[in-house]
Amino acid sequence: MTDKKRRICIIVLIIEIIIIIGLLAGISMTRSHSKGLQFEIPQEQRTVAANYAVQPLSEDNYWKFVNQRFILVYDDTGVLQWVKIDNAFGRNNYDFDSSLLDQGNYKYYTENGTITSTVGIDVSKYQGTIDWAQVKASGVDFAFVRVGLRGYGNGALVLDDTFDYNVSEALKQDLSVGVYFYSQAVSYEEGVEEAQFVLQQVKAYNINLPIVLDTEDTMDESARTGSLTPEQRSEACRGFLETIRAAGYETMIYANLRWIALELDLTQLYGYDIWYAQYANEPALPYQYKIWQYTNEGTVPGISQPVDLNIGFNGFGKKQ
């Protein structure tokens, strides 16, 4: 082994030891969007082998190392979890340091000073009656309309009251349109049932964006999905996704950071795109995703109620 390779191996070993020691010692953890952990970096130089010395590890380098290997996320009890990143899922290469632009009501993603993103909304009956002409004129490129949901109590399938109106009117304005379904499936078979329900509703419309599975926390302890393991939940998701794909439609998964890191078994979901939800200054998910939902309190002309706003990356949903 050459001296250079030996030095690299020693440095990597020291970094990993620091992380392990920090975990075992019970590093003081605080809720923080920017850091997640608070600790003191040792300042002295440490000799690790004869004639080999490693300079102090900086805090920035520490976090760079951590974020390249772990997702730091609070579970539903408020405990910070370190979740190993699954490299098989594919990472994004988005750079948010200086690439986000606030312009009017919307955010944009830029590359080399040029806007490369699109503006999207997602709507349901809670947005009331929408004036889609005003929505289009405001600069919105695409919309996802809720088809319906499965009740988290009795498990009944329910059509959204405004589905037909919203899809037909959005298409009339030449917007790119997709749909989503709020799932509460507890098995693969129920996932298939939900997909068949959606397919029956969308067959009358020429939608051109994916059919999305919305999987998230109900925030209700009595929910029928509350006791599912990540493996069981992902199996139910597969029932939906595989049925939609088999019918010839594109499909994707909508979820937030905690759900992706702790509540889904990603090994069952390779090959499906992500629509990622995080209401923050910039998203934290390391995996590849096509859409970022960045707020649920957006203001859009033609919509009287607060609405979810989204960034579509790489021209997602842009009409040619």
pLDDT tens, position by position, 207-227: 999 999 999 999 998 999 999
Range of the domain at 80: 3-84
Quickly state the pLDDT bin for 282 (edges 50, 70, 90). Answer: very high
Same domain, yes or no, for 32 and 147? no
Spatial separation of the C-alpha atoms in residues 258 and 214, rounded to whole Å: 14
Q: Looking at the predicted structure, is the pLDDT value of residue 16 above 80?
A: no
Mean of pLDDT values over 266-284: 97
Q: Looking at the predicted structure, is the pLDDT value of residue 79 above 90?
A: yes
What CATH number should be reported for the domain holding residue 161?
Answer: 3.20.20.80
Number of domains in the chain: 2
209 with 176: CB under 8 angstroms?
Answer: yes
Same domain, yes or no, for 122 and 80? no
90: in domain = no
311 with 107: CB under 8 angstroms?
Answer: yes
Token pair recorded at residue 314: 């790489």
* Lowest-pLDDT choice from 26-35, 153-162, 239-248: 26-35
Triad 280, 263, 289: Cα angle to 5°: 50
Same domain, yes or no, for 79 and 108? no
Q: Which of 84, 116, 149 is a domain's end point?
A: 84
Token pair recorded at residue 62: 């520490």
89: in domain = no
Same domain, yes or no, for 79 and 109? no
Spatial separation of the C-alpha atoms in residues 181 and 215, rounded to whole Å: 9
125: in domain = yes
Q: Is the dihedral of CA 204, 208, 213, 214 positive or negative?
A: negative
The conformation of residue 56, written as its DSSP 8-state character, comes to P
Q: Which of 57, 84, 111 is a domain's end point?
A: 84
Same domain, yes or no, for 107 and 70? no
Same domain, yes or no, for 79 and 105? no
Mean of pLDDT values over 77-104: 94
Q: Looking at the predicted structure, is the pLDDT value of residue 272 above 60?
A: yes
Spatial separation of the C-alpha atoms in residues 260 and 276, rounded to whole Å: 9
291 with 249: CB under 8 angstroms?
Answer: no
Same domain, yes or no, for 128 and 246? yes
SS3 category, 95: coil
Q: Which of 58, 84, 110 is a domain's end point?
A: 84
Longest dimension (CA), the chain: 75
> Strand ranges (DSSP E) for 85-214?
100-103, 106-111, 114-115, 118-123, 142-150, 157-159, 176-182, 211-214
288: in domain = yes
Res 51: pLDDT: 42
Q: pLDDT (tens digit, 9 = 90+) per residue, 149-190?
A: 999 999 999 999 999 999 999 999 999 999 999 999 999 999
Q: How far is CA 85 from CA 70, 88, 135, 288, in A?
A: 5, 9, 38, 12
Find, among 232, 271, 234, the residue nearest to 251 by Cα.
271
Q: pLDDT (tens digit, 9 = 90+) per residue, 117-141?
A: 999 999 999 999 999 999 999 999 9
Token pair recorded at residue 293: 């939902």
Same domain, yes or no, for 48 and 195? no
Same domain, yes or no, for 64 and 162? no
Spatial separation of the C-alpha atoms in residues 191 and 205, rounded to whole Å: 22
Same domain, yes or no, for 208 and 269? yes
91: in domain = no
40: in domain = yes
Token pair recorded at residue 279: 């209401």
Spatial separation of the C-alpha atoms in residues 20 and 32, rounded to whole Å: 21
320: in domain = no
Res 28: pLDDT: 39
Same domain, yes or no, for 60 and 126? no
Same domain, yes or no, for 167 and 311? yes
Q: Which helix (H) or strand (E) element contains residue 296?
A: strand 291-298
Res 7: pLDDT: 57
Res 11: pLDDT: 54
Q: Looking at the predicted structure, is the pLDDT value of residue 44 above 60?
A: no
35: in domain = yes
